[in-house]
Amino acid sequence: MNNNPIVLVVEDDASVRNLITTTLKSHDYKYISAANGKSAIMEASSHNPDVIFLDLGLPDMDGIEVIRTIRTWSLVPIIVISARGEDSDKIEALDTGADDYLTKPFSVEELLARLRVCQRRLSIIKEDLHQSSVFVNGDLKIDYASGCVFLKDTELHLTPIEYKLLCLLASNIGKVLTHTYITQKIWNHTDENEVASLRVFMATLRKKIEKNTNGVQYIQTHVGVGYRMIKQLDKCE
């Protein structure tokens, strides 16, 4: 991504829209804005933004439909903005292809942090690490060819499900994956039992990869939503 990424801000509430665009402007991001779903889709297709902030409650169409439409041609990172108490909307948005979310009211710092996560994710996609046979994130290394996982060059002994989970998170680094998405990918099925099992497998996986790392966190838990692998890169954040 270049130094001045273009951000599309989709929000019908003028005060929230202004808060976002003012923040972007003062941090040297270029931006375009839209106040409804139809113009959001139009702006996304004509300007090819690097990141999209998308309010889910739009006057003319559901934000979920906007994601679905944009995903037919673009992998641009989409950060949804939802109001508190709208967890199901947020989860549906993530399952439809959104990358992350902000809950209203949010702080300017939070907004900028989410933006940086998306920029990193995009640069990783561009590097095309998925094609590589080795995944590296900080001290964590996955050798896909041999199916071995290392932490600081010490091999970790993961169960097959823990390994699958780790690979799934790694290939979606920076992106929040919902419980439903993960259980579908791992067990081809989702009900409460799988979500409970997922919690147990995730806890044992985290114990294995996050021990002896001086508090470094690889997997972030989003309570009631899902999990995300954090890129170990910018320690200054």
Provide the binding-site residues for Ca ion, judged by CB under 5 A: 12, 55, 57
Report the nearest approach of Ca ion to the CB of residue 81 (Å). 8
Least distance from Ca ion to the Cβ atom of residue 57, Å: 4
As measured in angstroms, the least distance from the Cβ of 37 to Ca ion is 11
Short-list 227, 228, 203, 231, CA closest to 125: 231
Rounded least distance, CB 15 to Ca ion, Å: 11
Measured CA to CA, the distance from residue 29 to residue 6 in angstroms comes to 6
Decide whether 12 or 86 has the Cβ nearer to Ca ion.
Answer: 12
Query: Token pair for residue 115?
Result: 């933006």
Identity of the residue, 83 or 203, whose beta carbon is nearer to Ca ion in the bound complex: 83
Q: Measure Cα distances from 10 to 55, 205, 214 in Å.
A: 6, 37, 40
Tell me the DSSP string of 45-81.
HHH--SEEEEESB-SSSBHHHHHHHHHTT----EEEE
Reference 99, options 224, 235, 222, 234; nearest CA is 222
* Residue closest to Ca ion (Cβ): 57
Pick 12 or 143: Cβ nearer Ca ion: 12
Which one, 29 or 53, has the nearer CB to Ca ion? Answer: 53
